Amino acid sequence: MRSIYAAFIILLLSGFSLATETNSFFYRNDGKLKADTTLKISSYRLHKWMKVEDTIVKTFSKNIQYPLMLKENGIQGKLIVSFDVDDSSNFSNITWEKDTAQHYLKLFFMEIKRGISLQSGRYFSMGFKAAPGKKEHYFIPFAFAFHADYKLKGTENYLEIITEPEKQPEPFEENEMIRME
């Protein structure tokens, strides 16, 4: 009889530990950001985040563009953005964590801020909102990188906004040119 109780307790405990496992791209099981473990969210917020992470990643990947000036100059960068979510699922207080002196990152940040602002209120029906009258704080690490062959080191836990090098138009052959007369 003891072995049955022991087996039940082990099964119960293993089920509990599996229930607390997360498969978050950005966050560890303890709520710490993988890209910077000094930044953390509560387990309650992590649970909410897990419900919308895939949707947010897909939406942000589509709506945030590589800044043209940086793309043309071959500039890459990475930064961590934080934001608050209110009780209507609106995003506010969009800031850039761990400020650096690299002024070109401001162009990346401005594009991220624009992209996040466009998504305000869209995740309400998915339960991604704060308690009435409250705000909750979250983090997303972003990396702006060129084609995967040239991607930045250390960005495996970042949302990558990747640009492809633009192809130059093929030159016309002389016999393909149309003459205007």
CA 17, 155, 163, 91 torsion-angle sign: positive
- pLDDT at residue 101 above 50? no
* More confident: 31 or 99: 31
Q: Which residues contact 24 (CB under 8 A, 6 or more apart)?
A: 34, 46, 49, 50, 53
* More confident: 70 or 92: 92
pLDDT band at 6 (very low <50, low <70, confident <90, very high): very low
Percent of the chain with pLDDT over 90: 31
Percent of the chain with pLDDT over 70: 71
pLDDT recorded at residue 19 = 43
